[in-house]
Structure 1
Amino acid sequence: MTTLFSGYRLGEMTLPNRVAMAPMTRVRAAAGGLATPSMAAYYAQRATAGLLISEGVQPSLIGQSNPGTPGLYTDEQVASWRPVTDAVHTNGGRIFAQIMHGGRVSHPETIGMQPAGPSAVPAVGNVFTPSGRQPAPVPRALESAEVPEHARSYALAARRAVDAGFDGVELHGANGYLISQFLSSNANLRTDRYGGPVAHRIRFAVEATAATVEAVGAARTGIRLSPGTGFWGVEERDVPELYAALLAELARLDVAYVHLEATADDELLLALRRSWPGALIMNPVLPMGREQTGRADADRWLGLGADLISFGRAYISNPDLVERLRAGHPLAPADEATYYEGGDRGYLTYPAYSYPA
């Protein structure tokens, strides 16, 4: 019988359990997008997960969404990540880097230039900047000749990730960021080969994934998706057709996994599970909310055909989450005020479970 604690073969890795740590922005990077010793300790603390997926890592300066996030586009950034991946591996873990291009979800104050996206349509909401939250600016629409360069940026970052010791990469194709913007029917108003009908709107995602597979191999490549997402004002038409077409192309590329978020109803998610022949990581609760994934959510989705279950907020305050789930211990609550404040408080200060005296 498959349980959350059964082993699983993912790509070329044997995972000791089916628990994945979902990618979560924690804005603890140093100036220049460098990883830090605190980040090494943070990920090492959580290395009992079957798979760790890092916070979103920008593949270029223009791809940076939030201040304080790490990058993988300079030699210095690669060097700064090596102690992180070494610490995870020393603790027996496996870690993928999530490659995240923010597209229009950025600000000139953060990156020193106008953000770029599929079309000159601003995101809905206030974005993080060094001086606080500000309305999302109107992005510059990418020229047709520029789009392949941004698709290739995921692959270049993936190659650097492997050089930095990561076991693979996950392309962030969800939550209203660049890949998601191209999939959208209101953020993407293009009339060239990257916009309009479904076959065109999935092209950027497919090209970015194909380039990454060519760069580091299919077994080292995953992608995260949020069908029907509404994050940052993104809307999608023809959601079942859109994602069925995208998954068919991803299947041809034989990627290691698809990581789905619960942004659609069960009927659609289960249809996508049936159509996807490869490994599925399921994130059972809506991202960016307050609800934590629990054991019951995990067991339910394992029963519905997911191969791994990703836990996000529960991992912030429970570095020993696998052990707590296995033993049925209560989960510690997280202090939301410390999610993005920087420093080690609310980052390295959550202890493992302590048995009552």
Structure 2
Amino acid sequence: MRARASSPTSAAAARLLTGALPAVPTLAAIVGTLLLFSLFLLIQRQPAGDAIVLIAQGAFGSSFAWQSTLLRAAPLMLTALCVALPAQVGLIVIGGEGALALGGLAAAVLPQLLPAATPWFVATPLMAVAGMLVGGAWIGAVGALRQWRGVNETISSLLMSYIAIAVFKFLVEGPLRDPASLNKPSTPALPDAFSIGSLPGLEVHWGLFWGALACVAAWVFVRHSTRGFAMRVTGGNARAARLVGLPVNALALTACVLGGAAAGLAGMFEVAAVQGSANASLLAGYGYAGILVAFAARQNPLAIVVCALMIGGIEASGSLLQRRLDLPDATTLVLQGLLFANLLAWEALGGRLAAWRVKLQAAAQAEVNAALEQTHA
């Protein structure tokens, strides 16, 4: 009787621990980051406790803070997917900034090629498609170089991002420059009808909705589709995937194209909803911050939504730290850097946590089997 009473409880506890283990490195990294950030401030004789409270207030302490956070989180969700989707097949791609820039540029140029009477419900989707195609092609080239030429995808994506930014600046400041933009070179402004408005009741554009929707769709694709399962098998062991007949090259290329398309869509929203044209303000570092978001989320598309809010809140709190404590606005960049370093450090626990997870799953199954045997007896 005692075995029957305790088995379901211990099995449920094992399942709970099994589900919680993947979050341990991220939570430990956050705690370590706060401790190191406090030490960093104390060395400068700054009130560490007050600074952390102000960061929380600047991120989530008021409706204005929430809107600033959401505004920054919208592109981060999409640029994080540019890292998370290729990671499903074992590729570390960090070139989202370049895909965002070129995707935004394509979205800004497309309206100039359309007839003057084109309605917004035709032009806006075409702008999104243009941004996604250009971004997807750019990151897709990274995947192609990796799979067919053996070029390291991390290095090539970073170098191609620099090339994309250089091409962006050349075109914006040269052939595509609006003659009316004097001190701030930019492409011609989008017609007002093509601008993307705000969500009802918020001063945040529709990119937030589509970014969250893209994360949910990516999670469903990765976790609940045959092709997504094949991608995860490839990411676990590419050699074994080839042995069982999976099209490893095609899966890797698909993941890179989808990731690049997400970053290109982020660029489109930044142009159509925030900037109104392609200009240097588009290069705000969202592609690089997306790397941090993806690592904090451990490449889980659903967790990206939460982590994007966290990183967006940290970025939004910089002005409050500057006003209240006279700290440089770049203080939040130090916090993000410490978080990234801690995430990499705690990632070393991944192998041990995986072993613990296997043991917990085996223990839970053993408890269930024992309970079944007792029942049949």
Shorter-chain TM-score tier: under 0.3
Structure number with higher helix proportion: 2
TM-score normalised by structure 2 residue count: 0.24
- When normalised by structure 1's length, the TM-score is 0.24
Rg bigger for which structure?
Answer: 2
Higher strand share: 1
**Greater relative contact order, per chain length (Cα 8 Å cut-off, separation 6+):** 2
